[in-house]
């Protein structure tokens, strides 16, 4: 029996309609930007394995540091105890972030990093005896799949089965020149109730790589700061170079109070979540009163292996090679964009740094459940490329080690698909 057949007997996959999905591809090995299936077929991982991989698969430097850590300390309880990888990661991560970020809270994935951020904000107000319990978020936002993270995400096919149970959130449109004053007014009208504003800076990933301008986000953030509303930058996806700068928040002079990280944090090797916050937020939890404690933690909080993967990943992130690769990919995308813009089957092309997205003309509304999606997905798999269109939106989000030849191949197959499908 193949891996795929053994899998099909026992396993239920994420985001997968198991009745119609067909067998999964059994992967046995990864190297650089590629993974290899059980028949030896090569696939270029053009989505960085769900947006997590930054430096390529089975990276030797990350592998080496992890294997050294494994024989030193695999895990220890993180309440009352600490360890070198967690301390060193906080020491090295904070200086890379906007300077108002002062404390690091560990968890183990992007959704939990968001849950922690939300709890920090809600309890920040409660601890000061103030009743601010509403959260502001963008329409079409995606912040994760646990209940709190779902609640602050746009209502969509992902949340439909649970909508009635999600707490109420104030949703606003993405800011642009024409609506910015109206958005600010909307916020001001609610300011006494609003605990915080959570946003994906510059790119709404899951919504279909929807992009918006730093100028208007900055104005919104300034307005929130003026109205005393805490801000949460969910950089789970945009962090670590994806948008062309180290963090998407680096495009805005106005900084968030809280930041969330996961995905690329460990170079895509291990599950780890980080929520950072300002000294002011941290201090709102200091008290003789135990009820003011942040009662949140996970069994694998600050797992030493995961923290070590993040440290090894930071070694690579801060090398000269990474910014050069990011720029190279952004330039390649830019050239491709100029080539296909105006193609009859392309509704629009957008790009931020290493992320490029193309909206396919379907004659219908854009939808995650678009049938075109499955045809495109299979077409690219056959061609040895992993691309997972979000409905009729194709995006390329490669690991930074991808070569220009591999990129050219992906571009040429997208062009073929445009002409053939």
Ligand X SMILES: *Cc1c(COP(=O)(O)O)cnc(C)c1O
Catalytic residues: 15, 142, 234, 263
User: How many residues at the interface with ligand X, by CB under 6 A?
Assistant: 14
**Interface stretch with ligand X, choices 77-85, 106-114, 131-139, 177-185 (CB under 6 A):** 106-114
Q: Which two tokens stand for residue 84?
A: 């070198």
Q: What is the closest distance, in whole angstroms, from the C-beta atom of residue 366 to ligand X in the complex? A: 18
114 scored as a contact of ligand X (CB under 6 A): yes
In angstroms, rounded to a whole number, what is the distance separating the alpha carbons of residues 309 and 85?
9
Among 48, 111, 231, 243, binds ligand X (CB under 6 A): 111
Nearest to 34 by CA among 4, 57, 60: 57
Q: What is the closest distance, in whole angstroms, from the C-beta atom of residue 93 to ligand X in the complex? A: 17
Q: What is the closest distance, in whole angstroms, from the C-beta atom of residue 14 to ligand X in the complex? A: 9
Nearer to ligand X, 37 or 200 (CB): 200
Nearer to ligand X, 125 or 142 (CB): 142
Nearest to 261 by CA among 96, 397, 137: 96
Residues in the chain, total: 421
237 scored as a contact of ligand X (CB under 6 A): yes
What mask, x for binding ligand X by CB under 6 A, covers residues 246 to 285? ----------------x-----------------------
In angstroms, rounded to a whole number, what is the distance separating the alpha carbons of residues 152 and 169?
6
Contact present, 266 and 236 (Cβ < 8 Å): no
Among 142, 197, 247, 379, binds ligand X (CB under 6 A): 142
Main-chain phi, psi angles of 132, to 5 degrees: -115, 110
Q: What is the closest distance, in whole angstroms, from the C-beta atom of residue 334 to ligand X in the complex? A: 23
Q: What is the closest distance, in whole angstroms, from the C-beta atom of residue 272 to ligand X in the complex? A: 9
- Sole residue written with tokens 């599950």: 271
What mask, x for binding ligand X by CB under 6 A, covers residues 203 to 232? --xx--------------------------
In angstroms, rounded to a whole number, what is the distance separating the alpha carbons of residues 275 and 339?
40
**Interface stretch with ligand X, choices 37-45, 166-174, 233-241, 348-356 (CB under 6 A):** 233-241
Q: Which residue is nearest to ligand X (CB)?
A: 110
Among 37, 45, 200, 257, binds ligand X (CB under 6 A): 200
Contact present, 214 and 180 (Cβ < 8 Å): no
**Interface stretch with ligand X, choices 85-93, 136-144, 246-254, 308-316 (CB under 6 A):** 136-144
Among 109, 243, 301, 406, binds ligand X (CB under 6 A): 109
Nearer to ligand X, 66 or 118 (CB): 118
236 scored as a contact of ligand X (CB under 6 A): yes
Nearer to ligand X, 105 or 142 (CB): 142
Among 110, 201, 244, 264, binds ligand X (CB under 6 A): 110
144 scored as a contact of ligand X (CB under 6 A): yes
Query: Strand 210-211 and strand 170-172: pairing?
Result: unpaired
**Interface stretch with ligand X, choices 160-168, 180-188, 199-207, 410-418 (CB under 6 A):** 199-207
What mask, x for binding ligand X by CB under 6 A, covers residues 332 to 351? --------------------
**Interface stretch with ligand X, choices 98-106, 142-150, 244-252, 320-328 (CB under 6 A):** 142-150
Contact present, 260 and 274 (Cβ < 8 Å): yes
What mask, x for binding ligand X by CB under 6 A, covers residues 159 to 188? ------------------------------
The site for ligand X (CB under 6 A) is made up of: 109-111, 114, 142-144, 200, 205-206, 234, 236-237, 262
């Amino acid at each position: 029996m193949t891996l795929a057949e053994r899998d099909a007997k026992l396993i239920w996959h994420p985001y997968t309609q198991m009745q119609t999905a067909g067998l999964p591809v059994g992967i046995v090995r990864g190297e650089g930007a590629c993974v290899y299936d059980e028949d030896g077929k090569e696939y270029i991982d053009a989505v960085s394995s769900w947006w997590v991989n930054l430096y390529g698969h089975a990276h030797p430097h990350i592998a080496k540091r992890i294997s050294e850590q494994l024989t030193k300390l695999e895990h220890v309880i993180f309440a009352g105890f600490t360890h070198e990888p967690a301390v060193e990661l906080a020491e090295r991560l904070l200086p890379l972030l906007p300077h108002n970020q002062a404390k690091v809270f560990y968890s183990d994935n992007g959704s939990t990093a968001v849950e922690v951020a939300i709890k920090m904000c809600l309890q920040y107000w409660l601890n000061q005896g103030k009743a601010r319990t509403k959260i502001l978020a963008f329409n079409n936002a995606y912040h994760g799949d646990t209940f709190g993270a779902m609640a602050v995400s746009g209502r969509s096919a992902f949340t439909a089965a649970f909508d009635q149970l999600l707490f109420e959130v104030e949703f606003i449109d993405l800011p642009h020149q024409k609506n910015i004053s109206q958005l600010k007014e909307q916020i001001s009208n609610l300011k006494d109730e609003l605990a915080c504003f959570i946003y994906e800076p510059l790119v709404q990933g899951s919504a279909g790589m929807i992009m918006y301008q730093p100028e208007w986000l900055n104005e919104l953030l300034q307005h929130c700061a003026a109205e005393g509303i805490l801000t949460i930058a969910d950089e789970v996806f945009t962090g670590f170079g994806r948008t062309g700068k180290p963090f998407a928040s680096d495009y805005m002079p106005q900084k968030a109070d809280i930041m969330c990280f996961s995905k690329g944090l460990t170079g895509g090797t291990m599950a780890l979540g980080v929520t950072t916050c300002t000294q002011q937020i941290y201090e709102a939890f200091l008290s003789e009163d135990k009820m003011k404690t942040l009662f949140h933690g996970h069994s694998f909080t600050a797992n030493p292996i995961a923290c070590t993967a993040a440290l090894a990943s930071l070694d690579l992130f801060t090398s000269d090679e990474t910014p050069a690769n990011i720029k190279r990919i952004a330039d390649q995308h830019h050239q491709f964009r100029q080539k296909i813009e105006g193609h009859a089957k392309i509704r629009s092309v957008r790009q931020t740094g290493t992320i490029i997205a193309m909206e396919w003309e379907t004659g219908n509304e854009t939808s995650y459940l678009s049938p075109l999606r499955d045809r495109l997905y299979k077409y690219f798999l056959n061609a040895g490329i992993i691309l997972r269109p979000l409905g009729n939106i194709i995006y390329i989000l490669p690991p930074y080690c991808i070569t220009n030849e591999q990129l050219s191949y992906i571009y040429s197959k997208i062009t073929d698909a445009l002409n053939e499908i």
